[in-house]
A and B are shown apart, each in its own frame.
Chain A
């Protein structure tokens, strides 16, 4: 680990040089791995799935970084890749087993209860279960706004959705989750 963390432009500059490419990419992974992993983990719940998708996200970043134009921040670009990986993974899961949405929700909900990689008090578990009842994209928006405390503009850049639509989506998600928690027995 270096003492000073490289900036995005320094990473890109070093990545462009063959001799320092591996070093630059290693720094990029070290800087962003936790944000990306937790973003994915909250969506797929299971650690092994999250681990696999995090690696895939960085492999895609490795392949695409050469063509990265710098029109957005590295962070939003990585989030966009990770978000696509998550949504594709969840969609594939539903297609592969021909399962209705409720079954996927139940499967992920069971993982919340059974996994030894999850801790937290009852209300936090209830919150996670309530989130699983939301559509994937709405859950994604909720996670980025509520847990990651991202700005709507940043979420808009990642999801390609307008700020207005995101505000409406988050507002609805909050209402649904609060309603679910209110009616849930504790």
Chain B
């Protein structure tokens, strides 16, 4: 039959589909049961474009609000964490880690974003004038003078 002209009009028109036994006897009763409300259908949660977009929008809003309210700022974390630490403990820690005052001062100097002024820096380090004098190259100062 391949490659021959096929004429649909000559083909018998058969219904190849079948239904379960007594299907058409029962269908009117099943429809009637639904129209009279005896068998209410349970609503199915089906995919809906609007619901999907609404969910995405809600999740995004929660994520944005959560980020700005719950995520701690870097600055505040640092200040709050250090506010509860005694200066003497910091000094002891620096000594233990073998970090001298010059290293600390250089670190602050290199950090452009620091808000400390030089005087505040010295206050925070809790150093005395005597300590400063010991640390500074006096010959260099004398040359400046």
Q: Report whether B32 and A178 are in contact in the complex, using a CB–CB cutoff of 8 Å.
A: no
Choose the segment among B6-14, B97-105, B120-128 that binds chain A (4+ C-beta atoms closer than 8 Å).
B6-14
Chain B residues with Cβ under 8 A from A124's Cβ? Answer: 14, 16
Residue of A nearest to B3 (CB): A182
Contacts from B to A (Cβ < 8 Å): 1-8, 11, 13-20, 23-24, 27-28, 30-32, 34-36, 47
Number of interface residues of A (CB under 8 A): 42
In A54-109, which residues have CB < 8 Å from any B CB? 54-55, 58-59, 62, 95-96
Asked whether, in the complex, the Cβ of B20 is within 8 Å of the Cβ of A47, the reply is yes
B32 touches A38 (CB 8 A): no
Assuming the contacts A22-B36, A117-B19, A119-B16, asked whether A54 and B27 have C-beta atoms less than 8 A apart, the reply is: yes
Q: List 16 A-B contacts (CB under 8 A).
A: A29-B28, A29-B31, A30-B28, A47-B19, A55-B34, A62-B31, A117-B17, A119-B18, A124-B16, A125-B16, A178-B7, A179-B6, A181-B6, A181-B8, A182-B3, A183-B3
How many interface contacts (CB-CB < 8 Å) are there between A and B? 86
- Give the 6 A-B CB pairs with smallest separation, nearest first: A120-B16, A29-B28, A181-B6, A178-B6, A182-B6, A62-B35
Contact, CB under 8 Å: A41 / B8? no
Q: By the criterion CB–CB under 8 Å, are B35 and A59 in contact?
A: yes
Contact of A41 among B17, B27, B30 (CB under 8 A): B17
**B35 — which chain A residues lie within 8 A by C-beta?**
22, 25, 58-59, 62
- The contact of B31 among A55, A179, A185, by CB within 8 Å, is A55
Contact with B along A131-165 (1 / 0, CB 8 A): 00000000000000011000000000000000000
Within 109-132 of A, Cβ neighbours of B (below 8 Å) are at: 117-120, 123-125, 127-128
In the bound complex, residues from chain A placing their C-beta under 8 Å from that of B14 are 120, 124
Residue among A38, A55, A59 with the most chain B CB within 10 A? Answer: A55
Residues on B with beta carbons closer than 8 Å to the beta carbon of A9: none
Contact across chains for A59 and B31 when beta carbons are under 8 A apart: yes
Chain A 11-28, CB-CB to B under 8 Å as 1, else 0, gives 000000000001001100
- For residue A23, give the distance in angstroms from its CB to the closest CB of chain B: 10
Q: In the bound complex, do residue A26 and residue B16 qualify as a contact, i.e. CB atoms below 8 Å apart? A: no
A-side contacts of B23, CB under 8 Å: 51
How distant is A178 from chain B, measured CB to nearest CB, in Å? 5
Residues B17 and A42 in contact, CB atoms below 8 Å apart: yes
B21 to chain A, nearest CB (A): 11
B8, A183: Cβ atoms closer than 8 Å: no
Other 8 A-B pairs with CB < 8 A, given A22-B36, A37-B27, A182-B2: A33-B28, A51-B23, A96-B47, A117-B18, A127-B8, A147-B15, A174-B8, A183-B2
In the complex, what distance in Å separates the CA atom of A41 from the CA atom of B8?
21
Asked whether A147 and B13 contact (CB < 8 A) given A30-B28, A33-B24, A54-B27, the answer is yes
Q: Does A53 contact B (CB under 8 A)?
A: no
